[in-house]
Chains A and B, each alone.
Chain A
């Protein structure tokens, strides 16, 4: 009797969620499947036309580009964000001074709106934006940097050799000597620069002559591609988005890894230390296998999130040519919201294809990284 009552209570608590799921997911999903076999255009009553929407979608070059972009984006971004967030979690799991500050600071990109971050990236990567400006500056001060580095190496080598000649145990990366070398290199470079022996290049907005350089004005959000054998593989604007997405998602995933790291018994690390394992061997043979369930979750969430990437593409909008950035989620949106009649049947077919691909990818990675295989 008591158990019966408990079951009813459980169902009662579940009802709001089940209703929302039924209305906004099951109903919508079933309708999308139905529309993907019709000629629905938002206005006329849909008529069944069989597999034609799928044929139309597959024949559309925009869709094929969206598919390629989505898969590339999902695989590259998920790989990058998983590896980098794991490394960051390992770094922030050590007992270092100001740990809570670093954890909070690194988490900032995750709590900032993706729309705002996209706008900032648009600004950074404009033709006359910050990135091009920094590259121009770097090009102009290149002789000074090179001089500094060469002097630093020379002074360091001299110092180490001198110390060694005095039979003192010293390495080439000794921090104290390095600091002294850097200071000497800085002074000598400054002196050479003041004497006019080594000077920075002059940035001039004209045809370059010796000693002058033109500003670096690379157009990131343009129809520019990395091609192999004439086949356009990945566009430059998409690479910018991959960079941005990795930057914003690492902190969230890092938190999952951090939580996972807390659960690894320190005895394991102590045992490997006794066996003489290097930090890299510890990472590969203890940390990574013990984090398998977390990795499974992180990769699954990463794949689903990246396959459905939409907001960044929508915000960048016309700033980059459509084909360079179009993803499956954006393709679905663009084919549903048009001016007047819209090929909703094509959007529906594309949405179903996206769902199937997501399921497939998650299933495939489940076979390789089973959460139970600890």
Chain B
């Protein structure tokens, strides 16, 4: 009896010692559907690998506006050991000094180079892209068939696409449109890149009055003429994917996320995907890389364990799973030959086009620079005022440049 009690006691002591050594790595990420997806990823691919090192992994989603919530947590010193770093706001977070440079800690070579550059400031890389998206041109096959106009294809230029869209608009009854135009830099910017425009010069300043930008801006907004192009709000939609869902818009410019949305919300819609059109002036196309990276909190007390978890999260197996589930496109270069890309079906076709988009033409990370979302608001306002017919291109860009100068001189 005594012996049993003693052994039980020693077991309990051993257990508590083991518990004391166990490290918990907290991950901050998006709310919404991410907790289910990442939870699955952690349980299947991360926990089995790191459990032997006595590492436990917990996912803590930040509901609501992720960027604002993360800013508060970082400022208060309560952020997780690992965290999502959105590519577009990376500049603002890196400037806080609260993220750990990964150089020498994690190898960035297996990952697509342009994705690494999104998180690289002054030679230091602050995050590993977990996956990515680019823009593709999604078109409604039925509307093109009904209008007897050829589908858009990879050889289209801005001019030939505009001709096709105008023909579609003319052939279809009123209430149908050629293209849905988002009044935002998040879509339009890709066209400015196609003209060879650079978002920031060597001094970090933005020129909205340079010829490439003005030309792209003029072309994009000219589509609103004669209602060939329509903004989502004009047909009571929140985004251009919603325009596609109505079945009344022939073309939208979206990423791979639209595939899942259309599968759920417009299962009978016959759509195809192709690369964005080439600028007539340069013969090149432009594109955005939308990405979210895994970053390390500089204040983590468990650096080594957090790095182990980060490596497991970006492992080949984990990324294969993300692709096969149709969630996003993996960030590892080696996965471009994954059989998923060659499967038949609109979803796979879109994934293939989105993957191709990452390396075709002038591609740049979707990023606002250190000024954060205020930077893009200036371009968005200019686009909205021209697309809604409130201002001319010249007036809109002149006032946008004045606002930009003020923002960047602070």
State the A residues within 8 Å of B (CB). 42-44, 56, 59-61, 126-129, 205-206, 217, 219, 221-224, 319, 321-323, 337-343
B93 at the A interface (CB under 8 A): yes
CB-CB under 8 A for A340 and B373, given A205-B175, A321-B384, A322-B381: no
Residues of chain B contacted by A339 (CB below 8 angstroms): 67-68, 70-71, 86, 89, 92-93, 372-373
B65 partner residues in chain A, CB cutoff 8 A: 337
Residue B272 is within 8 A (CB to CB) of chain A in the complex: no
Beta-carbon contact of B406 and A59 below 8 Å = yes
Which of chain B's residues has its CB closest to A224's CB?
B390
B71 and A223 within 8 A (CB): no
- In the complex, the chain B residue whose C-beta lies closest to that of A338 is B372
Q: How far is the CA of A129 from the CA of B92 in the complex (A)?
A: 38
- Alpha-carbon distance between A312 and B105 when the two chains are bound, in angstroms: 47
16 A–B contacts from the bound complex (CB under 8 Å): A43-B74, A43-B98, A60-B406, A61-B402, A61-B403, A217-B234, A223-B388, A224-B388, A321-B385, A338-B67, A338-B71, A338-B374, A339-B67, A339-B70, A339-B86, A339-B372
Q: Mark B353-391, 1 if CB is under 8 A from A, else 0.
A: 000000000000000001011100100010011001010
Complex CA gap A308/B96 in Å reads 30
Q: What separation, in Å, do the CA atoms of A201 and B74 have in the docked complex? A: 61
Q: Given A43-B74, A60-B406, is A322 in contact with B377 using a C-beta cutoff of 8 Å?
A: yes
Give per-residue flags for B263-297: 1 if the beta carbon is below 8 A from chain A beta carbons, else 0. 00000000000000000000000000000000000
Residues B388 and A222 in contact, CB atoms below 8 Å apart? yes
B20 within 8 A of partner (CB): no
Measured CA separation A322–B381 after assembly (Å): 8
| B52-75, CB < 8 A from A | 65, 67-68, 70-72, 74-75
- Do B91 and A340 have beta carbons less than 8 Å apart? yes
A60 to B374, CA, bound (A): 12
Cβ of B203 under 8 Å from chain A: no
| Interchain CB contact (< 8 A) of B75 among A43, A60, A222 | A43
Given A223-B381, A321-B381; A340-B92 close (CB under 8 Å): yes
> Within 8 Å CB of A127, what residues of B?
233-236
Q: Please classify the interface of chain B as helix (H, G, I), strand (E, B), loop, or mixed, using the class held by over half of its residues.
A: helix
Q: Which residues of A contact B70 (CB under 8 A)?
A: 339
Tell me which residues across on chain B come within 8 A of A42, comparing CB atoms. Answer: 71, 75, 96
* Interface residue from A44, A223, A340 paired with B372 (Cβ < 8 Å): A340
- Residue B122 is within 8 A (CB to CB) of chain A in the complex: no
Q: Are A340 and B406 in contact (CB under 8 A)?
A: no
- Interface of chain A, helix or strand or loop or mixed? loop
What mask results when residues 220 to 260 of chain B are scored 1 for a CB within 8 Å of chain A, else 0? 00000000000001111000000000000000000000000
Question: Which residues of A are found within 8 Å of B74, using beta-carbon distances?
Answer: 43, 340
Verify B92–A56 contact, CB threshold 8 A: no
A149 CA to B132 CA in the complex, in Å? 64
The answer to the question of B48 belonging to the interface, with a C-beta cut-off of 8 Å to chain A, is: no
Contacts of B1 in A (CB 8 A): none
CB distance from A231 to the nearest CB of B (A): 14
Measured between alpha carbons, how far is A166 from B88 in the docked complex, in Å?
84
Flag whether B95 is at the interface (Cβ < 8 A): yes
Decide if B179 is an interface residue (CB 8 Å cutoff): no
Once the chains bind, are B234 and A219 in contact (CB under 8 Å)? yes
Give complex CA distance A43, B370 in Å: 14
Question: By the criterion of a CB under 8 Å from any partner CB, how many residues of chain B are at the interface?
Answer: 38
CA distance A188 to B406 in the complex (A): 66
Measuring CB to CB, which residues of chain B are less than 8 angstroms from any residue of chain A?
A: 65, 67-68, 70-72, 74-75, 86, 89, 91-98, 174-175, 233-236, 370, 372-374, 377, 381, 384-385, 388, 390, 402-403, 406, 410
Say whether B385 contacts A223, CB under 8 Å: yes
Known: A323-B381, A340-B74. 16 other contacts (CB 8 A): A43-B96, A44-B97, A127-B233, A205-B175, A206-B174, A222-B233, A223-B381, A223-B388, A223-B390, A224-B388, A321-B381, A338-B92, A338-B373, A339-B70, A339-B93, A339-B373
The minimal Cβ–Cβ distance linking B176 to chain A, given in whole angstroms, is 10
Kindly list chain B residues whose C-beta atoms are within 8 Å of the C-beta of A43. 74-75, 96-98
| Neighbouring A residues of B374 by C-beta, 8 Å | 338
With A127-B234, A223-B388, A321-B384 as contacts: A343 and B410 at CB distance below 8 Å: yes
Taking the nearest CB of chain A, how far is it from the CB of B169, in angstroms?
13
Bound complex: CA A221 to CA B183 (Å): 14
A126–B68 CA distance with the chains assembled, in angstroms: 28
CB distance from A226 to the nearest CB of B (A): 13
Q: Which residue of B lies closest to A346 (CB)?
A: B410
With the chains together, A44 CA to B144 CA distance in Å?
A: 56
B234 near A337 with CB under 8 A, answer: no
A264 to B381, CA, bound (A): 53
Q: Are A341 and B384 in contact (CB under 8 A)?
A: no
Chain A residues, Cβ within 8 Å of B92: 338-341
B68 partner residues in chain A, CB cutoff 8 A = 337-339
Closest to B386 in A: A223
Q: How far is the CB of B173 from chain A (nearest CB, A)?
A: 8
Provide the bound-state CA to CA distance between A341 and B370, in Å: 8
A56 and B410 form a contact (CB under 8 A): yes
On chain B, the residues within 8 Å of A322 by CB distance are: 377, 381
Report chain B residues within 8 Å CB of A323.
Answer: 381
Q: What is the CA–CA distance of A205 and B410 in the complex, to the nearest angstrom? A: 49
Once the chains are docked, how many angstroms separate the CA of A209 from the CA of B385?
Answer: 30
Q: Please, which residue of chain B has its CB at the minimum distance from the CB of A128?
A: B236
Chain A contacts of B97 at CB under 8 A? 43-44
Per the bound structure, the CA–CA distance linking A126 and B234 in Å amounts to 9
Minimum distance in angstroms from B314 CB to a CB of chain A: 23
- Distance in Å: Cβ of B81 to nearest Cβ of chain A: 18
A324 to B94, CA, bound (A): 32
Looking at the assembled complex, report how far the CB atom of A125 sits from the nearest CB atom of chain B, in whole angstroms.
12
Given the complex of chains A and B, what is the CA–CA distance between A322 and B382 in angstroms?
12
In the complex, which residue of chain A has the Cβ closest to the Cβ of B385? A223
Which residues of B are found within 8 Å of A56, using beta-carbon distances? 410
A221 closest partner in B (C-beta): B233
Contact B91–A219 (Cβ < 8 Å): no
A310 to chain B, nearest CB (A): 15
In the complex, what residues of A have CB within 8 A of residue B377's CB?
322
- Nearest Cβ in chain B — how far from A111, in angstroms? 26
